[in-house]
Every structure is written in C-alpha cells, then in structure tokens.
C-alpha cells in the first residue's frame, strides 16, 4: 500500500515536471522558447526588452509564432498580423478565456472574476449592454484640463523640492489617471479631487498601489498554482486581504459618490457607476458580477492610460528634438481654449501619441483565447483543442514587414503629416492587425476614445508648461516582468510658463 502510494506520488511529480519543462508536441512547426526564460526575472536583474531581443524576436519574426511557458502552462504566441486577424475574427473557434477560465484558482481570477473583458457569449453581451454607453459617450474636457493643470502644479512643487534632481513620476501619474477616470467615466468629482490633492491621503490610491505590489509578483504570475497555498504563504494572504479591501472601497466610494449622480445624465447617458448599480438592483447582475466589473473597469481604465503616459514622457524625454517639434505645434493652442480644440489642427500631436502606442504598447503581451476545436490557423499552424493562444503586440507593432526596416525607430512622421493621412494609416493598420495596442475585432478596447482624448489634453498641457529630460542618474531600463514600461522612471522638469 505504502509503495503504491509512493509510486503514485512519484508518477505525479514526474508528469508534472515533464508538463512544465517539455513543450507540447503541437504545433510542430512552431519553435519553443526555452522554459528557463520564465525564471530569468526571478533570478537576474534583466530587462524585458533584452529578453525579447535575445530569445523571442528571432524565432517570432521567422516563424510568426512561438510556444512559451506562462501562467503555469505552455501557450502559443503569434506575431504575424494575418494570423492575429483570424484569431480576432473567429471568436467561435478562438474563444475569449480570461483568468477565471485559464487559472480559476488564482488570486487574479478571484480579483477580476468574470467581467466585460474576460467573459464571452450571452454573459459578455449583458455586461456590454450595461457598460458600453457609459464608455463611448462624448466626454467633457474641463475635468481633464483641471486635473492636468493640478498635475503641473504638483510637478513644479516636487521639482522645486528635489533641488534640480530627477523626480519619480509613476506614482504621480497613477493619481492623475485615476482622477481622470473618476471624473469622466465614473462621475465622482469628490473622489477625483481627493486623488489630485497631495495634501490628503487617497485611500483608493494607496490600497491600489499596495495591491499591485503584492498581487503581481512575477513568481505567482508564472506559477499561479502556488496561489492554492495562499492560506499558508503570508504575502499571498496579504494579497487576498488587499483584494477585498480594494474591492470594498471601490464599491462603497464609487457607488456612494455616483448615487448622488444617479439621476444625473451626462451627455445623454447615465454614468457607469449608476448604470451598474441599477443593473444590480434590477437583478440583471449579482453582487459578485457588479464588483468584478467595477474592479476591471477601474484597473483597465486607470492602468493602461497611466502606462501610456509614462512611456510617452519617457520617449519624449529621450528625444528632445521631437519634444521641441511638438511644442512648436502646440504653441498656437491657448490653454483656456483646449476644451474647444479641434484636434485635427494638431497632426503631429496625434502622430506622436500613436507612435508612442506603437513603440511601447501598455499591454505588450496578451494570452486570452482558448482554441475550441482542433484548428489549422492560417492553414499552417495546427492547434489542438484547448490550446491557449495570444499575441505579442510589442513584436507585431514593430514588425519590419509592416513598418519597414526602421520599425524600431521612434518616428511620428511615419503616420503622415495631415489629419487625413494619419487617420487613414491608423484605420488601415488596425484593420490589418499590424497595430494591435487596442486589441481588435468585436472585442476591441471600448476605452480607446477616452484614452486618446486624455492623452491629447495631457501632452498639450505638459508640453506647454515644461521641458523635460531623463534624469542622467536614472538607469535606463524597462521592467523585468508584467507590463513593459520604463522602470522607476525619473525625469527632470524645467518650467516654461514663467
Ligand atoms: C491607452 C489606453 C488603453 C489601452 C492600450 C487599452 C488596451 C486594451 C486591450 C489590449 C484590450 C483587450 C483586452 C483583452 O482582450 O484581454 C482592451 C479591452 C477593453 N478596454 Fe481598454 N485599453 C486602454 C484604455 C481603456 C480605458 C480608459 C477603458 C475604460 C474604462 C478601457 C476599457 C476596456 C474595455 C471595457 C475592454 C473590453 C472590451 C470587450 O471585450 O468588449 N480601456 N483594452
């Protein structure tokens, strides 16, 4: 009996290790990235861009796809636009499968559950009917301008205090993008002004910072099976309690603030908090679905614009000539006229933002589809049922076949010089899945319009107020895991207004 048990245990361990270390047989014509690159960020101080260049770029550009180990399993990552197009078009074959399906026992799944981004079929249609009008209304620009002006005051004060040294920027941008989301999407002006008042604590901000620090540790992202032990791993117990804390805060604070606005109609549409709350009261959503959707909308709606701002400030800090050219274009805009600004008059601004999104997409890699039946993707890649498939937008957005030999260079002019040329290029690149930063097809990002408006106003206000550069003492490095962005970026700002 004991021997049988030991044998069974041994067999289980050996098969689990084989499953981890040995890539799956299929698809046979797709190379595998070595398993151990998953471990690199856990052991070395390595940059994701470096990992990409050394281990992924070659095979990805040659074969259009690669097998990689992530989130406890082997996945297929595709890079070629025509393959991505097919995945986006054929949802019935490439089913959307978020963390609640992929790693149901993980803390990430507990946090975000089934929501508008991860669900599919009837459930997704139900969430979308509630949420979409609140995301695609015409947004008022005044609250963003007000927040951006406050951001300038904060940066000036921080810069003054730092006596000419660089200031860390990510925390400030997190508060700023949260304030914009709270003002425009959730209609919570009081919470937004608390976010921008650096004299006060903003519990939503501090809890979110803390939660990110605990929840997204690379080892648990690569091996979510460890979350099964969350009751005995203190840092995971802490992550679980932060999930509860953050979700409770969102529910009470956002719904309380938006309750005051329940009857307030902004541009003909009730705000999202009020819409979600009505759906819950009418029994269309249960409490868990209400909370999951609030969580995901807050995280996606705040984190992605913040990462775009961070990377854009980094790129412009590194390219003073481009920053100066932008400044010359923006010079003609009066701050008090931004709300009525016709953005078509500022083609270089639009092209610069698109180039930032292309070069450093906030979501650089996404694995969120599961193959529903055996399939031959693009007539060449055989995918057995159950294969998890995703794409690397960093690779696709820099593919020399689509973007030319200078794809790695930052060159806003590649988008065109007039508004017409830029929007044609943009629409074409998105339709062909050559530019994949906002996903695509029926599941394309619903916050794109708001994200672009916010980014335009932010750059307009910042470029008029400051000239900035990278802190010479800051080590120019990207993150080691998770979203790819400059790590702990520090910038030196010089005021221009005076
Ligand atoms: C620069 C900013 C942004 C980028 C780069 C971005 C990118 C993306 C991507 C890649 C997806 C697909 C995710 C997946 O399939 O797992 C997505 C979906 C989505 N995004 Fe965004 N996003 C941004 C801003 C926003 C904002 C501000 C909101 C508003 C709250 C938002 C709301 C959504 C929603 C609701 C979906 C799901 C659409 C659906 O499946 O029907 N996003 N976004």
pLDDT tens sequence across 347-401: 999 999 999 999 999 999 999 999 999 999 999 999 999 999 999 999 999 999 9
pLDDT for residue 314 is more than 90: yes
Does residue 384 contact residue 26 with C-beta atoms inside 8 Å? yes
pLDDT for residue 264 is more than 80: no
Q: What does the pLDDT average to over 67-96?
A: 94
Q: What does the pLDDT average to over 2-27?
A: 68
Give the residue whose CA is nearest to atom 30 of ligand 1: 301
pLDDT confidence bin for 13, thresholds 50/70/90: low
> In ligand 1, which atom is closest to the CA atom of 272?
30
Query: What is the spatial distance between Cα 33 and Cα 267, in angstroms, rounded to a whole number?
Result: 50
What pLDDT does residue 102 have? 85
> In ligand 1, which atom is closest to the CA atom of 135?
29
Lowest mean pLDDT among 137-151, 260-274, 357-371: 260-274
Q: What does the pLDDT average to over 38-64?
A: 91
Is the C-beta atom of 443 inside 6 A of ligand 1? yes
What pLDDT does residue 336 have? 74
356 is in an annotated binding site: no
CA of 256 to the centre of ligand 1 (A): 25
> In ligand 1, which atom is closest to the CA atom of 128?
41
CA of 438 to the centre of ligand 1 (A): 6
Count how many Cα atoms sit within 13 Å of the Cα of residue 40 in the half-sphere of its side chain: 21
What pLDDT does residue 364 have? 95
Is the C-beta atom of 447 inside 6 A of ligand 1? yes
Is the C-beta atom of 308 inside 6 A of ligand 1? yes
pLDDT, tens only, 411-454: 999 999 999 999 999 999 999 999 999 999 999 999 999 999 99
Is the C-beta atom of 436 inside 6 A of ligand 1? no
Q: Report the mean per-residue pLDDT for the chain.
A: 91
Residues of the chain with pLDDT > 90, as a percent, come to 72
What pLDDT does residue 151 have? 97
Q: Where are the alpha helices (DSSP H) in 223-335?
A: 234-249, 255-259, 272-281, 287-318, 320-330
Give the residue whose CA is nearest to atom 17 of ligand 1: 445
CA of 15 to the centre of ligand 1 (A): 38
CA of 444 to the centre of ligand 1 (A): 7
Query: What is the spatial distance between Cα 143 and Cα 177, in angstroms, rounded to a whole number?
Result: 12
Give the residue whose CA is nearest to atom 42 of ligand 1: 447
DSSP annotation of 478 reads B
CA of 165 to the centre of ligand 1 (A): 35
pLDDT for residue 54 is more than 80: yes
pLDDT for residue 221 is more than 90: no
pLDDT for residue 197 is more than 60: yes
Residues of the chain with pLDDT > 70, as a percent, come to 93
Lowest mean pLDDT among 100-109, 198-207, 248-257: 248-257
Q: What does the pLDDT average to over 28-50?
A: 88
Best residue among 445, 448, 458 to mutate for probing ligand 1's pocket (most ligand atoms within 8 Å of CB) is: 445
Give the residue whose CA is nearest to atom 35 of ligand 1: 446
Is the preceding omega at residue 309 within 30 degrees of 0, hence cis?
no
pLDDT for residue 21 is more than 80: no
CA of 213 to the centre of ligand 1 (A): 22
Is the C-beta atom of 390 inside 6 A of ligand 1? no
CA of 289 to the centre of ligand 1 (A): 18
Is the C-beta atom of 439 inside 6 A of ligand 1? yes
Is the C-beta atom of 297 inside 6 A of ligand 1? yes
What pLDDT does residue 317 have? 98
SS3 call for 42:
helix
CA separation, residue 70 to residues 21, 23, 220, 378, 397 (Å): 12, 12, 10, 24, 21
CA of 479 to the centre of ligand 1 (A): 21
pLDDT, tens only, 118-127: 999 999 999 9
Structure tokens at 43: 């052991």
What pLDDT does residue 12 have? 63
What pLDDT does residue 131 have? 95
pLDDT for residue 18 is more than 60: no
Give the residue whose CA is nearest to atom 14 of ligand 1: 117
CA of 309 to the centre of ligand 1 (A): 15
What pLDDT does residue 374 have? 96
CA of 469 to the centre of ligand 1 (A): 30
pLDDT for residue 267 is more than 60: no
pLDDT confidence bin for 76, thresholds 50/70/90: very high
> In ligand 1, which atom is closest to the CA atom of 132?
35
pLDDT confidence bin for 116, thresholds 50/70/90: very high
HEC string of 1-28? CHHHHHHHHHHHHHHHHHHHHCCCCCCC
pLDDT for residue 55 is more than 80: yes
What pLDDT does residue 117 have? 96
Name the residue with tokens 């249960």. Answer: 286
Query: What is the spatial distance between Cα 417 and Cα 131, in angstroms, rounded to a whole number?
Result: 35
What pLDDT does residue 37 have? 87
> Which of residues 165 and 200 earns the better pLDDT score?
165
> Which of residues 444 and 19 earns the better pLDDT score?
444
What pLDDT does residue 236 have? 93
**Sheet harboring 365-371: ordered strands across?**
65-70, 73-78, 388-392, 365-371, 94-96
Query: What is the spatial distance between Cα 439 and Cα 433, in angstroms, rounded to a whole number?
Result: 8
CA separation, residue 189 to residues 209, 247, 452 (Å): 21, 19, 21
Is the C-beta atom of 180 inside 6 A of ligand 1? no
Is the C-beta atom of 483 inside 6 A of ligand 1? no
Is the C-beta atom of 304 inside 6 A of ligand 1? yes
pLDDT for residue 141 is more than 70: yes
What pLDDT does residue 231 have? 87
pLDDT for residue 91 is more than 70: yes
HEC string of 150-172? HHHHHHHHHHHHCCCCCEECHHH
Query: What is the spatial distance between Cα 170 and Cα 483, in angstroms, rounded to a whole number?
Result: 13
Structure tokens at 20: 């981890």
CA separation, residue 122 to residues 115, 126, 280, 439 (Å): 12, 6, 17, 21
Q: What does the pLDDT average to over 134-162?
A: 93
Which helix (H) or strand (E) covers residue 451, if one does?
Answer: helix 448-465
b/e string for 54-70 if b means 16 or more Cβ within 10 A?
Answer: ebbbebbbebbbbbbbb
């Amino acid at each position: 009996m004991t021997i049988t048990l030991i044998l069974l245990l041994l067999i289980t361990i050996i098969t689990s290790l084989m499953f981890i270390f040995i890539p799956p047989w299929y698809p046979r014509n797709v190379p595998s990235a070595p398993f151990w690159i998953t471990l690199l960020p856990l052991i070395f101080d390595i940059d994701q861009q470096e990992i990409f260049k050394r281990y992924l770029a070659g095979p990805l550009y040659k074969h259009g796809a690669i097998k990689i180990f992530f989130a406890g399993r082997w996945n297929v990552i595709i890079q070629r636009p025509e393959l991505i197009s097919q995945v986006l078009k054929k949802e019935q074959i490439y089913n959307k499968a978020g963390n609640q399906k992929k790693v149901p026992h993980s803390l990430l799944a507990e946090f975000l559950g089934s929501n508008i981004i991860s669900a599919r079929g009837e459930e997704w249609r139900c969430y979308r009917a509630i949420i979409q009008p609140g995301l695609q209304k015409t947004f008022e620009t005044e609250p963003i301008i007000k927040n951006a002006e406050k951001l300038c005051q904060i940066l000036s004060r921080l810069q003054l205090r730092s006596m000419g040294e660089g200031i860390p920027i990510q925390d400030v941008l997190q508060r700023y993008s949260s304030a914009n989301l709270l003002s425009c999407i959730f209609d919570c002006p009081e919470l937004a002004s608390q976010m921008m008042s650096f004299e006060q604590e903003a519990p939503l901000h501090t809890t979110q910072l803390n939660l990110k620090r605990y929840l997204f540790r690379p080892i648990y992202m690569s091996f979510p099976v460890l979350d099964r032990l969350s009751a005995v791993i203190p840092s995971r117990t802490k992550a679980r309690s932060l999930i509860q804390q953050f979700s409770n805060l969102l529910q009470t604070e956002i719904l309380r603030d938006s309750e005051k606005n329940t009857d307030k109609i902004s541009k003909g549409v009730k705000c999202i908090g009020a819409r979600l709350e009505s759906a819950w009261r009418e029994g269309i959503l249960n409490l868990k679905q209400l909370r999951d959707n609030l969580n995901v909308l807050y995280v996606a709606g705040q984190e992605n614009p913040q990462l775009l701002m961070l990377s854009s400030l980094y790129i412009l800090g590194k390219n003073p000539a481009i920053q100066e050219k932008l400044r010359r274009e923006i010079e003609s805009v009066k701050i008090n006229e931004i709300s009525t600004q016709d953005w078509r008059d500022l083609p270089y601004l639009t092209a610069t933002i698109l180039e930032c999104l292309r070069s450093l997409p906030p979501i650089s890699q996404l694995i969120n589809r599961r193959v529903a039946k055996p399939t031959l993707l693009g007539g060449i890649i055989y995918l057995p049922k159950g294969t998890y498939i995703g794409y690397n937008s960093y690779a696709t957005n820099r593919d020399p076949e689509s973007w030319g030999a200078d794809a790695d260079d930052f060159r806003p002019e590649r988008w065109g010089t007039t508004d017409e040329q830029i929007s044609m290029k943009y629409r074409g690149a998105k339709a062909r899945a050559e530019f994949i930063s906002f996903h695509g097809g029926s599941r394309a990002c619903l916050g794109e319009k708001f994200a672009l408006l916010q980014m335009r106003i932010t750059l307009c206000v910042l470029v008029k107020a400051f000239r900035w550069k990278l802190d010479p003492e800051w080590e120019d490095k990207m993150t080691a895991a998770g979203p790819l962005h400059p790590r702990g970026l520090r910038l030196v700002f010089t005021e221009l207004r005076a």
